[in-house]
Amino acid sequence: MFSPRQQIEKLLGQTGIKINGPNDSDIQVFNEYLYSRLLSGGSLALGESYMDGWWEVKALDQFFYKIFKANLNEKLVFSWPIILSFLKSFIFSLRAQSPFIIGERHYDIGNDLYQAMLGKTLAYSCGYWKEAKNLDEAETAKFDLICKKIRLKQGNYILDIGSGWGSFLKFVAENYGVRGLGITVSKEQVALAKELCKGLPIEIKLQDYRTLQGKFDHIVSIGMFEHVGVKNYRTYMSKVRELLKDDGLFLLQTIGSNKSSMFTDPWISKYIFPNSKLPSLVQIGKAIEGLFVMEDWHNLGADYDKTLMAWFDNFDKNWPRLKSKYSDRFYKMWKYYLLSCAGSFRARNIQLWQIALSKKGAPGGYKSIR
């Protein structure tokens, strides 16, 4: 019978990670109860024990890259309490729930945190690093790429579902001469977005997408679809189709999963994005079937690794002026969040998609833009 430590060592042996080893990606264990905790609690226990200071890794992003590359996240045997937690999460996801929960628990944490982390553009989504030399350039390049993909023209009226701090709308108003409406479920985002977009033909509202009315030349949704929920995918796409003019284009940017699932990682769901769910290619396909023509599907997953590392660098650099408001435990939680996600994208365990959709097919065809 193998001891808990021996069982964890055997699992880590598949990744090249050593317990208390000399490499930057090796795990340094400070509490010997960690091994039994991991065997009974899986990924939730891994994250919580890190926040509790039970272990550390010098290069946390590389640690997770190796974990995901070896699919170790799928090989841990979960105890019944963890299985029941998954089932509870699944059942809850099928019930009606307030769309504003994610705003209150994540995006309303504090504008000071996000301003310190995200850079000048305040864009909380993957940048486009093809020719960019830094985060601000990558985010601006992403905005411009989206504009080209939806064939944005001066005078257009566009909708941004999940507009955040108004970054994209501010960009298009200043650079393309368009009007726009942005909606978000975060009160803090609305307040700052209105301030940043003051004087521009931009309207920002605290609103659920399902209550929207009107017609728009084009629609974008950049990093919001992850919060919609599987049961709402079809409703979401039907609403977008209703709001989009017949000759308009819809650009959906979303993180995507390689596999269809009804569950979210329990640590991410508990501490970072409550009730979130990454869609798969199949799930998106079913949601748009009969509603849209898929014009283009662009995978920028590798770019999210660079974006997350840049966010962490900003967060870490600005921590001295943030720590009077946020606890040391928060620092470890946020570090774990950013660097574990970077490792996951680096291992190509999850993806980042930009999907261009039309209602009836773009006249003359659609030219893919990269």
Confidence of residue 113 (pLDDT cuts 50, 70, 90): very high
110 with 51, same domain? Answer: no
Residue 186's identity, in one-letter code, is: S
For the residues 207-234, what does the mean pLDDT come to? 96
Is the predicted pLDDT of residue 100 greater than 90, yes or no? no
Structure tokens at 369: 């833009």
pLDDT value, residue 52: 98
> Which has the higher per-residue pLDDT, 355 or 75?
355
Is 228 inside a domain boundary?
yes
Query: Which ranges of the chain does DSSP label H, i.e. alpha helix?
Result: 4-12, 34-51, 60-69, 80-93, 101-102, 111-118, 135-149, 167-176, 187-196, 233-243, 266-271, 281-288, 301-322, 328-346
- % helix, strand, coil for the chain, step of 5: 50, 15, 35
Cα-based distances in Å from 93 to 46, 199, 221, 235, 368? 24, 40, 22, 15, 35
Confidence grade of residue 69 (pLDDT, cut at 50, 70, 90): very high
- Residues 144, 249 within the same domain: yes
Give the whole-number percent of the chain exceeding pLDDT 90: 88
Q: How far is CA 167 from CA 122, 144, 172, 345, in A?
A: 6, 12, 9, 24
pLDDT of residue 76: 59
Comparing 20 with 76, the larger pLDDT belongs to 20
Average pLDDT, rounded, for the chain = 93
Task: Determine the pLDDT at residue 79.
Answer: 46
The CATH code of the domain that includes 225 is: 3.40.50.150
Q: Is residue 277 part of a domain?
A: yes
Calculate mean pLDDT across residues 313-342. 98
| 126 & 59 share domain | no
Q: What is the mean pLDDT of residues 271-284?
A: 95
Containing structural domain, residue 201: 101-301+347-358
Name the more confident of 364 and 280: 280
Q: What is the pLDDT of residue 313?
A: 98
Q: What is the mean pLDDT of residues 38-46?
A: 93
- Angle between helix 167-176 and 135-149 (nearest 10): 70
Judge whether residue 72 has pLDDT over 90: no
SS3 22: coil
Q: Do 248 and 160 reside in the same domain of the chain?
A: yes
- Residues known to be catalytic: 341
The number of distinct structural domains making up the chain is 2
153 plus 113 within the same structural domain: yes
Q: Which residue would you say has higher pLDDT here, 200 or 2?
A: 200
pLDDT at 99: 73
What CA–CA distance (Å, rounded) separates 311 from 238? 34
